[in-house]
Amino acid sequence: MEFDFAYLTAQWPALMRGLWLTVQVSALSIVLSILVGVFGAAARVLQVPVLDKLVVGYVEFIRNTPLLAQLFFIFYGLPGLGLRLSLFWSGVLCLTIWAGAYQIENIRGGLETVGKGLREAAFSLGLSPWRFFRLVAAPMAIRVGLPSMLNTSISLLKNSSYLQAIGLAELTYVAIDRISMDFRTIEMFSAICVIYLLLVLALSFLASRLEYRLNAPFRH
């Protein structure tokens, strides 16, 4: 079977619609997972009673169960509990919960680099624990933990392909749908591999620019 560029050109609009949905789901999930990571890491570092134990349990549960099982529970299981979500929001919720567990550990690792002396100095100046975390510790932790946060975000982007299992018409779903109809496996999988590669490179570039800006005060 020869590679058919004409076929790929004809399917390009459908692939772009799938790509747009992938970008929407991934971007929203990345932002929300970072927020989960910040608040979860704060609960652990500040040792908030009860909440810090719940965060530990959440992280361990998510990191030790399959993402696909989590997705099926959210989409098929939650309606049985009275909570019915759309395909889009089921995907966003699943990816946010999954990546949030890893972002908690990424940010917590960055927080551990904040010296005890800096903490004592902040408290001696009258900063409350929460203001110390928000104004001093969190910015430093994010700067240090940015590479690992990027790795988690890249994994989230690639794992968005799992959402085709519940019927969300993202990029991988579109490719598999066209393959089932036209049997042009090489063209479709080649296309989505290149598109995912470009997405990851774009995300890595944006993160590198952010890291460059955050490290600007420390280069002189």
Q: Is the pLDDT of residue 184 over 90?
A: no
Q: Which amino acid is at 85?
A: L
Q: Is the pLDDT of residue 218 over 80?
A: no
pLDDT at 142: 79
Record the pTM.
Answer: 0.88
* Residue 54 to residue 61: CA distance in whole angstroms: 10
Q: What is the CATH number of domain 5-218?
A: 1.10.3720.10
End-to-end CA distance of the chain: 58
Q: Is the pLDDT of residue 135 over 80?
A: no
Express each pLDDT in 94-118 by its tens digit.
999 999 999 999 988 887 777 677 7
* Residue 105 to residue 90: CA distance in whole angstroms: 24
* Residue 122 to residue 46: CA distance in whole angstroms: 14
CA distances from 102 to 21, 41, 77, 105, 201 (A): 23, 10, 23, 5, 21
* Residue 170 to residue 29: CA distance in whole angstroms: 14
Express each pLDDT in 61-70 by its tens digit.
999 999 999 9
Sign of the alpha-carbon dihedral angle for 72, 73, 75, 77:
positive
pLDDT confidence bin for 125, thresholds 50/70/90: confident
